[in-house]
Amino acid sequence: SQTIHQWPATLVQPVGSPLSLECTVEGTSNPNLYWYRQAAGRGLQLLFYSVGIGQISSEVPQNLSASRPQDRQFILSSKKLLLSDSGFYLCAWSVTRSSNQPQHFGDGTRLSIL
């Protein structure tokens, strides 16, 4: 069966520090991969999605970047964190190129910026 892992579960970082969040999927090949941010009272905001290695689409301009160095690995990064980057970050995967398949979510990373 397929599983998705995100780490770390929680992270406290100072303003201006770098960030790297990692997400890996097991048990499937060539998945679509997604990064979301969930801020209090604002629902889920899609940040990035990827349909293949090295293919990244950004949904909103921001202080973050994403990379997909391997088929089942998706990394969210920042060179210098802002206070506004605080939130709950969720990684998800779905069957590639199919809009009728649900997305499957990891357990998330709670990021607090001080």
Partner 1 sequence: AQSVTQLDSQVPVFEEAPVELRCNYSSSVSVYLFWYVQYPNQGLQLLLKYLSGSTLVKGINGFEAEFNKSQTSFHLRKPSVHISDTAEYFCAVSRNYGGSQGNLIFGKGTKLSVKP
**Do 93 and 26 form a contact (C-beta atoms < 8 A)?**
no
Point out which span in 11-19, 67-75, 78-86, 92-100 binds partner 1 (CB under 8 A).
92-100
Per-residue mark of binding to partner 1, 46-75 (x: CB under 8 A):
x--x-x-----x------------------
**Do 44 and 90 form a contact (C-beta atoms < 8 A)?**
yes
Query: By CB neighbour count within 10 A (0-12 exposed, 13-18 middle, 19+ buried), where does 28 fall?
Result: middle
Q: How many CB atoms lie within 10 A of CB 49?
A: 21
| CA gyration radius, the chain | 13
Per-residue mark of binding to partner 1, 12-51 (x: CB under 8 A):
--------------------x-x------xxxx-x--x-x
99 part of the interface to partner 1, by CB under 8 A? yes
Q: Which residues bind partner 1 (CB under 8 A)?
A: 6, 32, 34, 41-44, 46, 49, 51, 57, 88, 90, 92, 94-108, 110
